[in-house]
Every structure is written in structure tokens, then in C-alpha cells.
Chains A and B, each alone.
Chain A
């Protein structure tokens, strides 16, 4: 195995060149390049995290805006509903008032008309009674010759008219 056979002869140069090349690797690549690449990766990770955070903040702000918009909408709608409700109630009340007034007018007119009719029919009845009493007086005078007072005749006629 040359690795072991040659050890005594070559270890000096092997170690020398290894220290030289590995030293270069460590100093230039390990200490020089590696932290820079690490820094790039860290900066990128930070940038991504920041961007995500900003996006999350914007998202929550949009949610807030939407919520406030929704609340305002709700308020406006309920206000409008209240206005509609009030005007409807007002209109109903006015209509009701007019209706009752009209009803009262109609009732008054009806009562007047009825009273008129009653008066007229009473008057007609009295005329009929008067005429009937006169006729009855005349008839009694002609038939029996007895004199009947107008009041008695009227009383009798009234009773007869009542019985039909």
C-alpha cells in the first residue's frame, strides 16, 4: 500500500501542500466567501419575512376597512328603514284621520236625512188622521145624525188606524 510505504518519504510534502491548499480554502473560501453567501441568504430571508409581514398588515387593514364599510352600510340601511317606517306611519295616521272624518260626515248626513224622513212621514200620517177624522165625523153625522166632536173622532180614527 503506497500510502503507508511512502509515508516516511512523502509526509513532509503531503502535509505542506495540504496545509497550503486547505489554508487557502479556509481563509479565502471559508472566511471570505462563505459569510458573504450566508449574508446574501440571510438578507433574502429577512426581505421575504418583511414582505410577508407587510402583506399581512395590508391584508388586515383591508379587512378592517371592509368591516368599517360594512358597519356603515348597516347603519345607513337601518336609518333609511327608520325613515321609511316613520313616513309610512305618518301617512297611515293621516289616512285614518281622513277616513274617520268622512265617516262622521256621512253619519251626520244620514241622521239628518233620517230625521227629515221621519218628520215628513209623521206629518203625512197626521194629515191622513185629520182627513180620516173629518171623514168619520161627516159619516157619523150623516148616518146617525149624532154630533161627534172632532177630538173624539180623531181619537177613534187613531185607534182604528193602529189596528189596521
Chain B
């Protein structure tokens, strides 16, 4: 926490800090930052997690069961939302889901106790934006490659009366174009809001206790109790947001794959 005259800034946790200067690319400094560290940590954790599921035993152990639970979950989701054609998108959606899930959960780890600064990669618009644009690009590429210009019929629902078609087309097109933004903003806002709430409550605990034991008991303890509950809620949000991102991606790919 950055403390300026005893103030605790709940936004400080989102600051990207340069660790190594790195190199320059097209006028942009590609620095090795705390954000990059946490991306690498998430990927390393994910890789280790997956490695435990690679024993490929006929009768799975606990770890293999857990990994297969995740792969089966995504497999079922693709099967249910897209159909048999959905299997070829499963590796992408699985990577997306697991990357977001591990980033979300690792950002919630209480490593601050060890003096480290946790950083949630998915609370950054640049990160969620790139992920959303990737999903949206896949939808566009698959849609136009598979259906050519017929893909635009996606914007005209079945049974639309002829005079309504231009208006419906515009409305549907707008809602389609908004998808990458809603996808990126949903994850970014959910993670940011939760972390701010936790830090504000933590600030209450520290500041009220500093103001005196009475305030500490009156304000600090209820705030701390609330933090425990909200931490549990944030864990749920971390999982649900990863799920929502993967689910919406699969639904959008379904639009591209099957039109209506």
C-alpha cells in the first residue's frame, strides 16, 4: 500500500511497475513489469497443474481427475453450445478459460503477507481487451470463411417482417459490434471492483485501529469480518467470470459456426 500522510490508496495495486527496462518496439517500451511476472506465474501454475494430469492412467488419481474435470467441463460446454463442430475450438476456449481462471485466482492470493505485491492481470483493460479481440476475431474469421457474405444473415432473425429488416439489421449489428467491448469490460470491471472493495475494507481496518482501540473494535473488526465474506465472494467471482468469458466466447463462436 502506498501511504502518503497515512492515506491508503486502493488503486495502487493496479499500477504497472517496471522491473526491467527491456527493449523498445515501435516507440513503445517493452518493459518486464510486475504484470508480466504475474502472467508468467499464472502460466507456470497452469502448466504445472496440467502436468499433473498428463499421467494418462486408465484409473485416474486425484490430480488427474481434477484436470480431467476441467477439460471435460470445457468439452461439454463446447458440445452443448456449438455441437460436434465445437470440438475444434475447445483448445482455444480451454486455454482462455484456464488462463483467466488462474490469473483471477492468483491475483487473489494473500501473498502480501509475504511482503510481495499481488497483481491481478485480468483487472487490466489492455489484457481483457486483447483476449476479447482475439475471441471476436475468431468469430469474424470463422463466420466469413464459412458463410461468406451470408454471415450477415445473422443480423436478421427468422420471421422478421420485411419493412422491419433495415432497423433490425442495424440493431443486431450494433449488438454484435458491442460484444468485444462487453466481453472485455465485464471481466475488467468485475475484477477491479472486487479488489478495490477488499483494499478499501482493509484500509478501514488499518486506519480505524490506528485511530484508537475503540475505533478498531467498532469499525475494524466488522470490516475484517466483511472482508472474509467478500474474499469468499471474490473467489466465486474469479471462477464465474472465467466461466462467463469462456461461455460467451463459445456462444459467439456458435453464431459464427451455425448462424441461427
- B51-68 with Cβ < 8 A to chain A: 51, 53-54, 56-58, 60, 67-68
> Contact flags (1/0) for A2-25 with B, using CB distance below 8 Å?
111011011111111111111011
Report B206 CB to chain A, min CB distance, Å: 21
- CB closest residue in chain B, given A31: B91
Q: A1-B14, A10-B126, A30-B94 are in contact. Are A25 and B25 (CB under 8 A)?
A: no
Output the least CB separation between B109 and chain A (Å).
17
Known: A30-B95, A34-B71, A34-B90. A16 touches B25 (CB 8 A): yes
- B247: CB under 8 A from chain A? no
B99 touching A41 by the CB < 8 A rule? Answer: no
**CB of A29 within 8 Å of the partner chain:** yes
CB distance from A44 to the nearest CB of B (A): 6
Which residues of B sit under 8 angstroms from A33, Cβ to Cβ?
A: 50-51, 53-54
A77 to chain B, nearest CB (A): 49
Docked-complex contact B71 and A41, CB < 8 angstroms: yes
Q: Which residue of B lies closest to A7 (CB)?
A: B126
Judged by a CB distance under 8 angstroms, whether B31 is at the interface is yes
Q: Known: A19-B130, A29-B47, A29-B50. Is A3-B188 also a contact (CB below 8 A)? A: yes
Q: How many residues of A contact B (CB 8 A)?
A: 38
Q: A22-B95, A41-B68 are in contact. Are A17 and B123 (CB under 8 A)?
A: no
Chain B residue contacts of A24, Cβ below 8 A = 43
Interface assignment of A47: CB less than 8 Å from any CB of chain B: yes
Complex CA distance for A41 and B79, rounded to whole angstroms: 15
Q: Assess whether B200 is interfacial by the CB under 8 Å rule.
A: no
Q: Which residues of B contact A3 (CB under 8 A)?
A: 14, 123-126, 188, 192
Chain A interface helix/strand/loop/mixed:
helix
The answer, yes or no, to whether A69 is at the interface (CB within 8 Å) is: no
* Contact, CB under 8 Å: B56 / A40: yes
Query: Is B125's CB under 8 angstroms from A29's CB?
Result: no
A17/B39 contact (C-beta < 8 A), A29-B46, A44-B58 known = yes
Q: Give the docked Cα–Cα distance between A12 and B127 (Å).
A: 11
Query: Does residue A28 face the partner (Cβ distance < 8 Å to B)?
Result: yes
Interface contact A12-B47, CB-CB below 8 Å: no
A59 to B188, CA, bound (A): 58
Chain A residues with CB under 8 Å of B92's CB are 26, 30
Interface centre among A7, A14, A38 (most CB of B within 10 A): A14
B residues with CB within 8 A of A: 11-12, 14-16, 22, 25-26, 28-33, 35-36, 39-40, 42-43, 46-47, 50-51, 53-54, 56-58, 60, 67-68, 71-72, 75, 90-92, 94-95, 98-99, 121, 123-127, 130-131, 134, 188, 192
13 contacts between A and B (CB under 8 A): A2-B11, A13-B16, A14-B16, A16-B30, A18-B131, A21-B42, A21-B43, A24-B43, A29-B98, A33-B54, A34-B95, A38-B75, A44-B58
